[in-house]
Structure 1
Amino acid sequence: MNWLRLCCVQCRNPLFLPRQGLCSRCDKLIVRTPYCSMCGSLLTQNAKRCGICLQRTPDWDQMVIVGRYQEPLSSLIHRFKFQNQFWLDRTLARLLLLAVYQARREQGLLLPELLIPVPLHRLRQWRRGYNQAALIAAYLSRWLSLPCRNDLLYRIKHTTSQLGLSAAMRRKNLQNAFSASPQLCHCGYTSVALIDDVITTGTTLNTLAKLLRAQGISHIQVWGLARA
């Protein structure tokens, strides 16, 4: 594993700065585009809202993404989630950190008071061995000096995978799938960021955002590695 830390996690070429995890060539291959800071839709220039959001506003307030779910970012995320390569957490978290910094400069992002990773059902987490969103959130918490809580939102229903489901089927699949800890409405936080890996239709995040609103959270951000 030590020699891997000295090489790019994608192309395996030696790194001048090993802490970055990704060489400059592979980093430039990540498809980063201007996007709507509300829903993450592809735009020609950054904007706070797009035409889609004007018609149907998400239940959260702002989104930050690294890039599109295309190579090489898509393969890095797939390896991280499904091939037990949990050690990619630092590299992917750093990419999201830089995206947060960019959103602060260009989109007026204000840092939240609290980070909350999207929860996994205990059975799925047991099978995978870790919650990938929680690993990313742990690094961001340390680097941004923000608290991170894994005990405020729970996935109480073991649902089928959302992969390949339509938006309507995703909503049905997630009915009564999550619950909030009683601590949430007493913790004193009013601004949170939900940490996720891939954002597709946003159904999971909308469900969680509604749950947070019901507990008195007034400002909700969504931070994700990729927008599909």
Structure 2
Amino acid sequence: MNWFALSCVKCQQKLAIGYHGLCSRCNAEIYRFAYCGCCGAELTRDELRCGKCLQQEPAWQQMVIIGRYSEPLSTLIHRFKFQGQFWLDRSLARLLYLAVRNARRTHALSLPDVILPVPLHHFRHWQRGYNQAALLAKWLARWLNIPVREDLLLRTKNTHSQRGLTAKARRNNLKNAFMVQNKLTKCNYRSVCILDDVITTGSTMNEIAKQLRKMGVQHIQVWGLART
């Protein structure tokens, strides 16, 4: 199966518009919610900041997500990330693209200068065969007319899987795991987006954002398919 198929990537029902990837029924089953535009926490209505972020702001300023990491979004992400179904990139990227457009209305989102997909360690990249964040970034860059750079962030440490780790263990696991290439300073990017598939505690994003701040980046956004 690929993105040219005229059937839903979840239930295989025939689609009137094939490139949408997901039928209206499966799309409606995605758990979307009002959220904090900074940390992605679920709220009763969309806000730029929640109480927690007002007290202790993350290392970034804004976040965009599609919805909760639950069915059917969780299954699609798992297939995309762990079952080699790289052709789901277009369908998932389209959902995130729509979330970005919506965030411009609900969270006063301004588009960044560049999209930076979270890198994989070269050994894990070799095992999987692709970087799922980079595949998503290429579609978004095309639709939003924003450059994507895969050469500015480097994963220097082959970390253990974050799944099942506590927030503290996640932070320790990611310590010194990323490096920002010196050529970022020559690009003069003032606003950047870090893109990943699933955001849990935000440890990965915090680690990268801190490195970007040291390089002089002023505004950092986090985009993800789902929030756990």
Q: TM-score range by the shorter chain?
A: over 0.9
- Residue 215 of structure 2 aligns with which residue? 215
User: How do residues 49-88 of structure 1 correspond to structure 2 at under 5 angstroms?
Assistant: 49-88=49-88
Local SS of the residue matching 1:92: helix
TM-score, normalised relative to structure 1 = 0.98
Instruction: Using structure 2 for the length normalisation, give the TM-score.
Output: 0.98
Structure 2 partner of 1:38: 38
Q: Which amino acid aligns with 1:117?
A: P
Shift of 1:57: 1.0
2:118 is equivalent to residue 118 of structure 1: yes
* Contact 2:3-2:88 at 8 Å conserved across structures: no
Count matched residues: 228
The reply to whether residue 194 of structure 1 matches residue 191 of structure 2 is: no
Give 1:186 shift: 1.3
What is the deviation of 1:139?
A: 0.2
Gaps of 5+ in 1: none
Matches of 1:105 and 1:54, distance apart in 2: 21
- Report what 1:204 is aligned to: 204
Residues 7 and 15 in structure 1, CA contact (< 8 A), matched pair in contact too: yes
Identity %: 60
1:55 Cα deviation (Å)? 2.4
Query: Offset at 1:52?
Result: 1.6
CA distance in 1, matches of 2:199, 2:5: 28
**How far off its partner does 1:2 sit?**
6.1
Q: Is the 8 A contact 1:65 1:226 kept in 2?
A: yes
SS in 2 for 1:5: coil
Match of residue 18 from structure 2: 18
For 2:21, give the aligned amino acid. Answer: G
Paired residue for 1:27?
27
How far off is 1:212 after superposition? 0.4
Alpha-carbon distance in structure 2 between the residues aligned to 1:2 and 1:222: 28
Q: CA RMSD in A?
A: 1.1
Structure 2 matches for 1:126-205, cutoff 5 A? 126-205=126-205
Q: In structure 2, what residue type is equivalent to 1:99?
A: A
